[in-house]
Each structure stands twice: as C-alpha cells, then as structure tokens.
Amino acid sequence: MKDPTCSEVWQNPDWKKQNVLLCAGQPQVMQVLTDWNNFTSEEQLRRIKTNAGPIYVTQQPDNKYVCPERGLYEYTVNGHNKTQELNYHSESFQTNKALFSYPEDDAFLDGYKAGKKILDNYRKNAEKISHNYFKAELRREYFQPAIAEIWQTWYGLPDGKTLLPESWSWKRIVDVISQTDPATVARTHAVCPGDFMAPSRGSVFPRPSEAIRDFAQMHGKAILKAGREFVALHRTNVNLPKTRLIAQLFKVTSDDEVLARNIIGTMIGAIPPMDANLRNILFEWIDTGRLWRHQAAFKTALKGKTVEGNLAGAMDSLRTPVSQAMCLRPAPDMLFRTAKRTTRIARSKGNDISSKLDGAWTHEGDMVLVSLVSASQQSLHNDPTGRSGIDVIFGGKRVAVPQGYELKDGKDKPGQNPNSNLPVHACPAQKWLWAG
C-alpha cells in the first residue's frame, strides 16, 4: 500500500475535521501500541520537538516519517546552530539498557527512603514546637517532594544548581528577575518535578488544551536547558559525584545533546505517571477503606524487622494491592497514535483477536485513542491480582532491549507481530518504577 505524503493532515492536524477511533479492549489497545508501522507516534514528536526536544519515546523505530523533516533536529547551543539526524536505535538502546537493568529491590528501597525522609522532616519540625502531629497537603508537600528526592537518588537531579526541587509553579520563566518580571510572578530556573508535567501532557495526551500547550513550550524549553547545563557541568568537572544510573549514561553516551535529551526525556516519561499513580493509589485505598488494612499487612509482613532487613516481605505485601489500584485508576488513562494508512483493528472474542471478525478500519490521519483504563480493568478482571494487567499501563510488557523491531544491514525495519504484545515504546523501567 502506498505510503502517505506530508499533506496538511500531517503538518497541522485539524481537530474539528480529524476522525477519531477509540480502542477500549485490551487486545485492540495492544495491537495499536505494537504496530508502529501502521500507527505512528509522529504527532507526539511534532508537538514536543519544539520544547523539550525530540525525545526518543516519540520517535519511529525505522526513522521514517510522513513529513521527512521530522527526522532532522535543528537546535542552538551556546550560540551555535546545529542539526542532528534522528536515529531511534542509536539514541535509545544504551539508555533503555541501563534503565532495564536497574534492580527492582533497589528501586523499592529508594522509594521507601525518599518517602520516609520527607515524613521524618515533618515529624522533626513538629517536635520542635512540641507537637506530636503535623499536617501536609499530599501532592504539593509530600508526593512531589518525595519524587524530587527519589530522582536525586536515581539521576542526581534536581541538583539545586541546574534544576531546583519544587512542585508545579505558575510563574513565568525568564532570564533575569527584574521590575518587569519580579520574583513574585517570575523565576529563572526550571524545577523538578513541577516542570515535567506540561511537556508530557502536551505531547502524549490526545488533545491538550491551549494552556497546557503554552506551559509545555515554556517548561519543556527550560528543562532541556537544565539538562544541557547538567551534562556540561559534569563533563567539565569529571570529579563531581554521579549516581549509579547517571554514571552509566555518561559512560555509554558520547553525544552530549543526546545525553541531555535522554536524561530529560526519561524523566518526562516517568515523573507525571509517578505523581498521578501515587495520588490514584492512595485515593483508591482511602475510598475503599483499605489503606489501614494494607498498612497493617505491611507491618505484619516485616515480622519485626526493618524494611531493609525484610525487603522481600515488604515488597510482596504491597505488590498485589499496588497493582490492583493502578489497574483500576491508571495514569496515564489514555494514549493515542495516528493511523498512517487503511488498517483493520480486529475485533476480539475474549482475549483472542480473530481474523474472521470484521473489526474497525482506520484511514490515513485518523487519531486512534487507546484507552489504558479500560484495557487495564479488563486485565484486572482476567487476573484479579492485577500483576499482569499492570503491563498495559506502562505501554506494554518490556522483556528485552531492544524489542518490537529488528536491525538489518544496520537499519531498523518492522519486525513485530501485532499479537506479540511487545511494543517498541514499552517502558524500559516498568519492572522497578512501580516499586519506586
């Protein structure tokens, strides 16, 4: 079938005219996420390329785009104009490999220590004024500070220099604080985790609002700048301490621009879902009255030991409850792809896609929504523990690096089976991000 050309449909999609199809079944969702040859992430790349840069989770594995200019990245660093030709495999492989190999046990302990540190600080401050209690707004004063803390453990960011630890901020980002842009309404530095929300939503959400798109531009440019400064700082000062993951990424990535994009890009991919899933899990547990039950089960599982002393028991006590809650209220709850050509999304009977059933047909330029919430809830119905359903929330199961495409003569080519459930862009860190 003839490949599409770079028409207005691809250059600037008209949402009022664009057809939309919704995939709600788990098999259909996985078909779309797996079949990158027919369902492309090119629109996500178009959106984020102008702010946080062409992060590889938005790139096509075969480096072919309906609009060929999408495969080129023009940028300016230190007053110099540069151009890069995007290559999914070369940009993603080493970073995915490093993330894929990080131990799940370590991630769980990292998360526990980060959360405990924030709570301990509140407790100490309360004791200073003779209080045996404290109050905190969960997202702004606990979840997001804990997320900043855990990313300091993993990446050394926020470092307080290039990237500051702070929750969401409405302030404008400017080069210099002035009378025109005072500190009450403006700031000069990017913040983490706050500035990682809008670039993610502006790119991967089907139809973000104008406000989200505006903040995505401002925040995305700021965090990419911070990433470049962080890389330059550590390249210049080789004796600066590096975390285990960052040391590995510096070692295997020689191109500093790609390194900065990959550091920021993986944080864009992980931080917003972490923030939302933490809130969703806690809400689910409180709403159903199960929070205190899970707390008691966690304490019992430790058998009088510390978390460090009985890590296996601690993880086992939470694995099923966390998985179940994430399947009920996943974040993100929906993703999308753009159809490149006429393609059949098969109907299914049970969990099996049947070629004997007509299904639905997509056409060039259609927006195909994939409902992760319905797919994860269907998986939870089939597996009440939620442990298998959690895969779909991470964009599919990750079993290897790379997966979902093949290399032939040094070039990427389609090598996936839509029924294999092994999407190219499945999160490489899914086996330990849930734990963190």
pLDDT tens by residue, 273-283: 999 999 999 99
Mean pLDDT of all residues in 134-163? 96
Window from 124-138, 303-317, 349-363, 390-404 with minimum mean pLDDT:
349-363
Give me the number of domains the chain comprises. 1
pLDDT of 349 over the 70 cut: no
Here the tokens at position 19 are 């057809």
Task: CATH number of the domain at 418, please.
Answer: 1.10.630
CA distances for 287 relative to 144, 249, 278, 324, 328, angstroms: 21, 41, 14, 14, 12
Please name the residue that has the structure tokens 């062409």.
Answer: 54
pLDDT band at 3 (very low <50, low <70, confident <90, very high): confident
On whether residue 1 sits in a domain, the answer given is no
pLDDT given for residue 96 in this prediction: 97
The span from the CA of 410 to the CA of 342, in Å, is 29
Mean pLDDT of all residues in 165-180? 93
pLDDT given for residue 413 in this prediction: 61
Secondary structure (DSSP) of 173-229: E-SS--SSS-TTTEESSEEEEGGGHHHHHHHHSSS--HHHHHHHHHHHHHHHHHHHH
On whether residue 282 sits in a domain, the answer given is yes
On whether residue 293 sits in a domain, the answer given is yes
On whether residue 229 sits in a domain, the answer given is yes
On whether residue 142 sits in a domain, the answer given is yes
Secondary structure (DSSP) of 288-345: TT-HHHHHHHHHHHHTTS-TTTTHHHHHHHHHHHHHHHHHHS-SS-EEEEEE-S-EEE
On whether residue 311 sits in a domain, the answer given is yes
Mean pLDDT of all residues in 296-307? 96
The span from the CA of 374 to the CA of 28, in Å, is 11
Domain residues for 347? Answer: 8-433
Write phi, then psi, for 281 (nearest 5 degrees): -65, -50
pLDDT band at 162 (very low <50, low <70, confident <90, very high): very high
The angle subtended at Cα 36 by Cα 44 and Cα 402, nearest 5°, is 100
Mean pLDDT of all residues in 181-189? 93
Type and span of the H or E element at 80: strand 80-85
Please check whether residue 368 is in contact with residue 362, taking contact to mean a CB–CB distance below 8 angstroms. Answer: yes
The span from the CA of 54 to the CA of 32, in Å, is 22
pLDDT band at 364 (very low <50, low <70, confident <90, very high): very high
Find, among 360, 362, 358, 359, the residue nearest to 342 by Cα: 362
Here the tokens at position 323 are 């998985």
Please check whether residue 394 is in contact with residue 427, taking contact to mean a CB–CB distance below 8 angstroms. Answer: yes
Secondary structure (DSSP) of 131-144: -S-----IIIIIIH
The span from the CA of 186 to the CA of 209, in Å, is 22
Please check whether residue 427 is in contact with residue 372, taking contact to mean a CB–CB distance below 8 angstroms. Answer: no
On whether residue 3 sits in a domain, the answer given is no
Find, among 297, 258, 276, the residue nearest to 59 by Cα: 258
Mean pLDDT of all residues in 367-389? 94
pLDDT band at 426 (very low <50, low <70, confident <90, very high): very high
Rg of the chain, C-alpha, whole Å: 22
Find, among 361, 346, 365, 314, the residue nearest to 40 by Cα: 365
The span from the CA of 82 to the CA of 428, in Å, is 29
pLDDT of 419 over the 60 cut: no
> Structure pTM?
0.93
pLDDT band at 433 (very low <50, low <70, confident <90, very high): confident
The span from the CA of 189 to the CA of 11, in Å, is 32
Q: Which range has highest mean pLDDT (357-366, 394-403, 410-419)? A: 394-403
On whether residue 2 sits in a domain, the answer given is no
pLDDT band at 418 (very low <50, low <70, confident <90, very high): very low
Window from 102-111, 162-171, 384-393 with minimum mean pLDDT:
384-393
Mean pLDDT of all residues in 334-351? 85
